């Protein structure tokens, strides 16, 4: 552990406030302890940001924006290219830190850094493609077009479960769009935030650029609320639970700011009578047990045609019996710990709620007799309308629900308040297309013969309904980080009005 911290230039107590590569020396604020969820041991600490430091961050970020927004977009892209290169160099070490602090298994920790690299590469290309449309004006000798301008300060608040990748989705795209970024990571993974801040700003140190990436830390969520309410933050990108996102959305809307919400999911996989279980079973197991069930896209419900129910149940219980639970840094481990003790308690409470409804826990839901936040992944037979099934328990509990028809399954799939990810396993073309048609899945992500989790960065990521409606990462998600400006130029000698209006003096 000490070697890893040394390689990432992390110390026992780390500054939690950064202005580009410069940090704050103020030691008056309290510390956020970074705890290893595998052992319960202290890894290091990160200092909270004080209100005065916050003011300094905001002032400097505004000054930076004035300069950075004037840097040509492809040059901004080159800065992000350097970041991508630096992340390539730190892929294994930063991935290991993600595993150490968050508890996700080694390949997922490294995969998260790979996702950062991928979005950096994407952003570099996008920096030369901030295209606007041109339109034909209805007036002679007029030219009409739209252009995309930098927005200003982009504030990013992230959840613990993707401690580095979600920052990159936002920051790399926002940066090529000419914005300055201020990040408040989850206090549960504050050390990852400091590590990223150092890698990224070291990569830009020789570039003679204004600081673009700022970091603040706060474990009380008081400063976070100031951040949300701050009219200087032009776009607030929030990733987290529906409950907090609802408050954040309302507060930003109250100041007429822009908000991008990436909130909770309650994702289902439909297994119809034509499903190939050789594909479906591993996809369900990865979707429900991967990241110990702590992904927004985690598979939480499996809606199974009644003719396949027993087969699927037996195969899943067998597969769950083979899940190797343990130290996430061990390459053979498939499931590590949950982030904290209260997450373990919530999974136990969900199992109790299933039993109270008269449902059956087929396996799992038992704490491991060892230090750390370990619990065996649970499978329950349940009904879609139970409260516990309707809500997102952010841990490894999977509900199996029998269905009579595809229409039933789609109605249940959509019959929750969240709308993030969905999938169907079928070899039947009509069923696949029905699921993808306008009366089919109502989610932001709809897959066929692929599970609900593990999205690629090339597509726009996000969900509908209480998932918040935001879109991040690829496709044209960059537009959320820019200001659209419609321009009409009159190059003639007359002043015709639109719609043929006469206003002669
Ligand atoms: P959370 O809502 O508890 O916290 C998210 C972030 O919000 C943290 O940084 C936290 O410090 C901050 N926060 C808490 N209260 C705040 C307040 N009043 N004002 C401003 N900020 C505040 O979520 P979590 O437990 O860290 O993460 C798990 C949740 O995030 C799950 O619901 C998961 O589905 C969701 N999530 C969604 C996506 C997505 O892209 N849709 C991705 C990852 C996680």
pLDDT digits (tens, 9 = 90+) for 340-397: 999 999 999 999 999 999 999 999 999 999 999 999 999 999 999 999 999 999 999 9
397 contacts 350 by C-beta, under 8 angstroms? yes
Best mutation site among 108, 239, 254 for ligand 1 pocket (most ligand atoms within 8 Å of CB):
239
Q: Does 248 sit in the ligand 1 pocket, CB within 6 Å? A: yes
Q: Which two tokens stand for residue 487?
A: 């321009």
Distances (CA, A) of 448 to 73, 266, 474: 37, 17, 20
Q: Does 159 sit in the ligand 1 pocket, CB within 6 Å? A: yes
Taking the CA of residue 420 as reference, the ligand 1 atom at the shortest distance is 41
pLDDT over threshold 90, residue 407: yes
pLDDT band at 505 (very low <50, low <70, confident <90, very high): confident
Distances (CA, A) of 376 to 251, 324, 350, 379, 404: 38, 10, 13, 10, 30
For ligand 1, the distance from its centroid to the CA atom of residue 9, given in whole angstroms, is 27
DSSP-assigned letter for residue 470 = -
Taking the CA of residue 247 as reference, the ligand 1 atom at the shortest distance is 18
Q: Mean pLDDT over residues 47-58, rounded?
A: 97
Q: Does 392 sit in the ligand 1 pocket, CB within 6 Å? A: yes
Which protein residue's CA is at the shortest distance from atom 7 of ligand 1? 240
Please give the helix or strand (H or E) that residue 5 lies within, else none.
Answer: helix 2-7
Predicted confidence at residue 32, as pLDDT, reads 98
Q: Does 226 sit in the ligand 1 pocket, CB within 6 Å? A: no
For ligand 1, the distance from its centroid to the CA atom of residue 244, given in whole angstroms, is 7
For ligand 1, the distance from its centroid to the CA atom of residue 387, given in whole angstroms, is 21
Q: Which two tokens stand for residue 155?
A: 């504030």
Q: What angle do CA 122, 234, 465 make, to 5 degrees?
A: 75
132 contacts 365 by C-beta, under 8 angstroms? no
Which protein residue's CA is at the shortest distance from atom 21 of ligand 1? 224
Render 219-264 in DSSP notation, one character per residue.
SSSHHHHHHHH-TTEEEEEEES-HHHHHHHHHHHHHTT-EEEEE--
Q: Of 394, 390, 446, 457, which is closest to residue 421 (Cα–Cα)?
A: 446
Predicted confidence at residue 219, as pLDDT, reads 97
pLDDT digits (tens, 9 = 90+) for 208-229: 999 999 999 999 999 999 999 9
pLDDT digits (tens, 9 = 90+) for 4-46: 999 999 999 999 999 999 999 888 999 999 999 999 999 999 9
For ligand 1, the distance from its centroid to the CA atom of residue 185, given in whole angstroms, is 10
Q: Where in the chain are the domains? A: 2-11+31-263+468-485, 267-448
Predicted confidence at residue 25, as pLDDT, reads 86
**Pairing relationship of beta strands 31-35 and 42-47 according to DSSP bridges:** antiparallel
Predicted confidence at residue 26, as pLDDT, reads 86
Taking the CA of residue 186 as reference, the ligand 1 atom at the shortest distance is 9
Q: Which two tokens stand for residue 471?
A: 């879109």
Partnered with residue 147 across adjacent β-strands are 485
Q: Does the domain spanning 267-448 belong to CATH 3.60.21.10?
A: no
DSSP-assigned letter for residue 497 = P
Partnered with residue 23 across adjacent β-strands are 18
Which protein residue's CA is at the shortest distance from atom 23 of ligand 1? 240
pLDDT over threshold 90, residue 338: yes
Q: Does 158 sit in the ligand 1 pocket, CB within 6 Å? A: yes
Measured CA to CA, the distance from residue 408 to residue 389 in angstroms comes to 16
**Phi, psi (deg, nearest 5) at residue 305:** -60, 140
Percent of the chain with pLDDT over 90: 98
Measured CA to CA, the distance from residue 396 to residue 334 in angstroms comes to 13
Q: Mean pLDDT over residues 328-345, rounded?
A: 98
Q: Mean pLDDT over residues 326-347, rounded?
A: 98
Mean residue pLDDT across the chain: 98
Q: Does 394 sit in the ligand 1 pocket, CB within 6 Å? A: yes
Predicted confidence at residue 418, as pLDDT, reads 98
What's the pTM? 0.98
413 contacts 272 by C-beta, under 8 angstroms? no
Q: Does 228 sit in the ligand 1 pocket, CB within 6 Å? A: yes
344 contacts 330 by C-beta, under 8 angstroms? no
What residues act catalytically? 262, 296
Measured CA to CA, the distance from residue 502 to residue 505 in angstroms comes to 9
Q: Mean pLDDT over residues 57-85, rounded?
A: 98
Which protein residue's CA is at the shortest distance from atom 11 of ligand 1? 186
CA atoms within 13 A on the CB side of 362: 20
Would you call 46 helix, strand, or coil by DSSP? strand
Q: Which residue has the tokens 């269905």?
A: 403
Measured CA to CA, the distance from residue 469 to residue 137 in angstroms comes to 33
Q: Of 71, 176, 192, 90, which is closest to residue 125 (Cα–Cα)?
A: 176
Taking the CA of residue 472 as reference, the ligand 1 atom at the shortest distance is 40
pLDDT digits (tens, 9 = 90+) for 131-173: 999 999 999 999 999 999 999 999 999 999 999 999 999 999 9
Q: Answer left, alpha or beta for residue 46, where phi above 0 means left and psi between -120 and 50 means alpha.
A: beta
For ligand 1, the distance from its centroid to the CA atom of residue 240, given in whole angstroms, is 2
Predicted confidence at residue 11, as pLDDT, reads 97
Which protein residue's CA is at the shortest distance from atom 30 of ligand 1? 240
pLDDT band at 1 (very low <50, low <70, confident <90, very high): confident
Q: Does 296 sit in the ligand 1 pocket, CB within 6 Å? A: yes
For ligand 1, the distance from its centroid to the CA atom of residue 241, given in whole angstroms, is 5
Predicted confidence at residue 305, as pLDDT, reads 98
Measured CA to CA, the distance from residue 251 to residue 245 in angstroms comes to 10
Q: Does 241 sit in the ligand 1 pocket, CB within 6 Å? A: yes
Q: Does 244 sit in the ligand 1 pocket, CB within 6 Å? A: yes
When the candidates are 3.30.450.20, 3.40.50.620, 3.40.190.10, 3.40.605.10, the CATH number that belongs to 2-11+31-263+468-485 is 3.40.605.10
Measured CA to CA, the distance from residue 253 to residue 250 in angstroms comes to 5
Q: Does 240 sit in the ligand 1 pocket, CB within 6 Å? A: yes
For ligand 1, the distance from its centroid to the CA atom of residue 159, given in whole angstroms, is 4
Q: Does 339 sit in the ligand 1 pocket, CB within 6 Å? A: no
Taking the CA of residue 265 as reference, the ligand 1 atom at the shortest distance is 34
Best mutation site among 165, 170, 244 for ligand 1 pocket (most ligand atoms within 8 Å of CB):
244
Q: Of 287, 260, 301, which is closest to residue 460 (Cα–Cα)?
A: 260
**Phi, psi (deg, nearest 5) at residue 367:** -65, 150
For ligand 1, the distance from its centroid to the CA atom of residue 157, given in whole angstroms, is 8
For ligand 1, the distance from its centroid to the CA atom of residue 306, given in whole angstroms, is 36
For ligand 1, the distance from its centroid to the CA atom of residue 336, given in whole angstroms, is 20
pLDDT over threshold 90, residue 190: yes
Q: Does 196 sit in the ligand 1 pocket, CB within 6 Å? A: no
pLDDT digits (tens, 9 = 90+) for 412-465: 999 999 999 999 999 999 999 999 999 999 999 999 999 999 999 999 999 999
Q: Mean pLDDT over residues 105-123, rounded?
A: 98
């Amino acid at each position: 552990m000490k070697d890893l911290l040394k390689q990432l230039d992390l110390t026992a107590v780390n500054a939690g406030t950064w202005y580009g590569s410069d940090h704050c020396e103020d030691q008056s604020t309290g510390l956020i302890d970074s705890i290893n969820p595998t052992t319960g041991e202290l890894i290091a600490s990160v200092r909270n940001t004080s209100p005065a430091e916050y003011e300094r961050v905001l002032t400097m970020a505004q000054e930076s924006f004035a300069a950075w927004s004037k840097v040509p977009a492809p040059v901004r892209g080159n800065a992000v290219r350097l970041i991508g290169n630096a992340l390539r160099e730190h892929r294994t070490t930063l991935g290991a830190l993600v595993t150490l602090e968050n508890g996700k298994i080694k390949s997922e920790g490294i995969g998260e850094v790979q996702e950062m690299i991928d979005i950096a590469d994407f952003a570099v290309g996008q920096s030369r493609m901030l295209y606007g449309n041109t339109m034909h004006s209805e007036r002679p000798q007029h030219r009409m077009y739209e252009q995309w301008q930098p927005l200003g300060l982009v504030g990013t608040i992230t959840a613990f479960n993707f401690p580095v990748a979600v920052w990159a989705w936002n920051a790399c795209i926002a940066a090529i769009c000419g914005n300055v970024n201020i990040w408040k990571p989850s206090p549960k993974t504050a050390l990852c935030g400091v590590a990223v801040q150092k890698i990224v700003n070291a990569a830009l140190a020789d570039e003679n650029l204004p600081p673009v990436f700022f970091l603040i830390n706060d474990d009380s969520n008081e400063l976070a609320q100031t951040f949300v309410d701050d009219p200087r933050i032009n776009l607030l990108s929030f990733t987290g639970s529906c409950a907090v996102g609802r408050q954040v959305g309302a507060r930003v809307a109250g100041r007429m700011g822009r908000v991008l919400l990436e909130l909770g999911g309650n994702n289902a996989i439909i297994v119809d009578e034509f499903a190939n279980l050789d594909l479906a079973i591993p996809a369900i197991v990865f979707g429900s047990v991967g990241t110990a069930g702590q992904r927004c896209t985690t598979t939480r419900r499996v809606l199974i045609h009644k003719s396949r129910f027993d087969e699927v149940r037996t195969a899943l219980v067998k597969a769950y019996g083979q899940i190797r639970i343990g130290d996430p840094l061990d390459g053979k481990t498939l499931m590590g710990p949950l982030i904290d003790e209260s997450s373990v308690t919530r999974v136990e409470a969900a199992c109790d709620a299933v039993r109270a409804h008269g449902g059956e826990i087929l396996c799992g839901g038992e704490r491991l007799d060892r230090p750390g936040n370990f619990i065996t992944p649970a499978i329950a037979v349940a009904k879609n309308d139970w409260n516990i099934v309707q809500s997102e328990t952010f841990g490894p509990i999977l509900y199996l629900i029998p269905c009579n028809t595809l229409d039933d399954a789609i109605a249940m799939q959509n019959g929750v308040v969240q709308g993030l990810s969905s999938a169907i396993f079928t070899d039947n073309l009509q069923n696949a297309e029905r699921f993808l048609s306008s009366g089919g899945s109502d989610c932001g992500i709809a897959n066929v013969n692929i599970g609900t989790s593990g999205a690629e960065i090339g597509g726009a990521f996000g969900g509908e309904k209480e998932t918040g409606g935001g879109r991040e990462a690829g496709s044209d998600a960059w537009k959320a980080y820019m200001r659209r400006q419609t321009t009409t130029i009159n190059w003639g000698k007359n002043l015709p009005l639109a719609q043929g209006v006469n206003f002669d003096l």
